[in-house]
Chains A and B, each alone.
Chain A
Amino acid sequence: KNEVEQSPQNLTAQEGEFITINCSYSVGISALHWLQQHPGGGIVSLFMLSSGKKKHGRLIATINIQEKHSSLHITASHPRDSAVYICAVTLATSGSRLTFGEGTQLTVNP
């Protein structure tokens, strides 16, 4: 079993829909990261959080430390949001290295 599990693996939505991607982890962490990867490989860090909720534009990330669960929400989705969204954690015992989930492929159709 992976230390970081994401669901769903694939998600297709219509433009304007509210989107939720979930991430569960089974280990102690010092922080959880949400990253975005577009075709071509480049990865961009969206959020790093260790408690509560963060918002940036149409993106919202929440984390529940007790339940070891995080969600990434996208409001008013747009085709340019199509990408792979990756959840990663910084383990409490392993310094600053990241442990990644498998990613969620999001496709937003016009």
Chain B
Amino acid sequence: EAGVAQSPRYKIIEKRQSVAFWCNPISGHATLYWYQQILGQGPKLLIQFQNNGVVDDSQLPKDRFSAERLKGVDSTLKIQPAKLEDSAVYLCASSLTGASGGFRAETQYFGPGTRLLVL
């Protein structure tokens, strides 16, 4: 079974530029998460999708960050314009979420992450 795919693996940009990250979850997984992990800290949830709907985007800086999952499969996360403090690893994860809905604990499967450096 293929895991969660992310691209690119690394990105270096200058502040005020824009950048986009792509994630393809495990086939059949309904729920997709984007996390931001700043060096030395634990990951922080940015946005959670169930199929193509947003479940939680309370910690997404909406003035500069946007995300979509139009067909309920792969997803893109965009930053525009980037700031120095956006330097981090951006992790995508997916989970199965059965027919009973997403409101239960379940194992999340993580991609390799995209390491972003903003200069």
Contacts and interface: CB of A to CB of B under 8 A. Distances in A.
Interface residues of B, number: 30
Interface stretch (B11-19, B71-79, B105-113): B105-113
A81 interface: no
Contacts of A103: 41-42
Q: How large is the interface on A (under 10, 10 to 19, 20 to 34, 35 or more residues)?
A: 20 to 34
Interface in B74-112: 89, 91, 93, 95, 97, 102-112
A95 B55 contact: yes
Contact of A102 (B41, B55, B111): B41
A34 to B, nearest CB: 11
B93 to A, nearest CB: 8
Interface in B27-49: 31, 33, 37, 40-45, 48
B102 A95 contact: yes
B48 to A, nearest CB: 6
B110 A42 contact: yes
Contact of B108 (A41, A95, A98, A101): A98
